[in-house]
Amino acid sequence: MSSRPPMHRARKRFGQNFLRDPGVISRIVRAIGPRSGERLVEIGPGQGALTEPLLEATGHLEVIELDRDLIPGLRVQFFNYPGFIIHEGDALKVDFAELRGNGPPLRVVGNLPYNISTPLIVHLLDAGDAIADMHFMLQKEVVERLAASPGGADWGRLSVMAQYHCRVESLFVVPPEAFVPRPKVDSSIVRLTPHAELPHPASDERQLFDLVRQAFSQRRKTLRNNLKGHIDATTLAALDIDPGRRPQTLTVEEFVRIANHLAGGVS
């Protein structure tokens, strides 16, 4: 068992809210299902609420922590685990493909600060086959956007990017009282599992995501207006996509169809 670290005051600039509820912690660990021999990486371990049960399950865990004041406490708390490794720094700057090296794909977990959750997920999606799966605690509205379906108010650029790369599962809601200090919003647990083979591969992914960004630049306007200068209404119609539709009604496959046409690939 670990030694308890001294209390640490949560830092607003790091978006820190420390998980305290034992029932919620157990439920998250069950959802992750850690097994011995896997390569687990925890982003933002904080005071080790998830770290301890993950280490007990696997005996090996790497953590990425930006707050230098937390690191000595983590070293003390888990000194008796030889498989505990700390990477000090910003997860947004970590090359996860390099971190994986020649080992098995990484299983990435974390209670992500609300202020970096979206750019960090985008960064991880770029890591490709270095990631086996991801389990994150995020602001509930971010999870709703990740797991949204076309046609709904939550379907947008983040939904398309995530679901192009991954199967997205919204698992359960975590209330504010599970944290210290209490956040002002509900949180949710999400599982992102990269596709072994992309269901709708883009011939040029940068082209695809530039197109998606442009399409959602003004949600209330139609594709005819938002994509003016990129593709004309006649060509959209020839691709069997009504140019009078709004971007939030398009599926991932339809965005890929347009992008592949623009890139000169298979449409």
pLDDT tens string, the chain, 267 residues long: the values are 444 444 444 444 444 578 989 999 999 999 999 999 899 999 999 889 999 999 999 999 999 999 999 999 999 999 999 999 999 999 999 999 999 999 999 999 999 877 889 999 999 999 989 999 999 999 999 999 999 999 999 999 999 999 999 999 999 999 999 998 888 889 999 999 999 999 999 999 999 999 999 999 998 999 999 999 999 999 999 999 999 999 999 999 999 999 999 998 544
Return the closest-CA partner of residue 156 out of 261, 258, 252.
Answer: 252
User: What topology is assigned to 12-194 in CATH?
Assistant: Rossmann fold (3.40.50)
Residue 18 confidence (pLDDT): 82
CA of residue 107 relative to chain centroid, distance: 12
Superfamily of structural domain 205-263: rRNA adenine dimethylase, C-terminal domain (1.10.8.100)
Residue 3 confidence (pLDDT): 46
Whether this prediction's pTM lies above 0.75 is answered by yes
Task: Quick: pLDDT tens for 15-31.
Answer: 457 898 999 999 999 99
Are 118 and 138 in contact by the 8 Å Cβ rule? The answer is no
Residue 16 confidence (pLDDT): 57
Task: Using the Cα atoms of residue 145, residue 185, residue 183 and residue 4 in order, give the sign of their dihedral.
Answer: negative
Cα–Cα distance for residue pair 98/79, rounded to 1 Å:
26
For 35, other C-beta atoms within 10 Å of its C-beta total 10
Residue 6 confidence (pLDDT): 46
| Binding residue ranges for S-adenosyl-L-methionine | 17, 19, 44, 65, 90, 111
Task: Quick: pLDDT tens for 118-149.
Answer: 999 999 999 989 999 999 999 999 999 999 99
Residue 10 confidence (pLDDT): 43
Distance (Å) of CA 261 to CA 200, 203, 233, 256: 13, 9, 14, 8
Cα–Cα distance for residue pair 110/46, rounded to 1 Å:
10
Which residues in the chain are classed under CATH 3.40.50.150? 12-194
Residue 219's SS3 state is coil
| Binding residue ranges | 17, 19, 44, 65, 90, 111
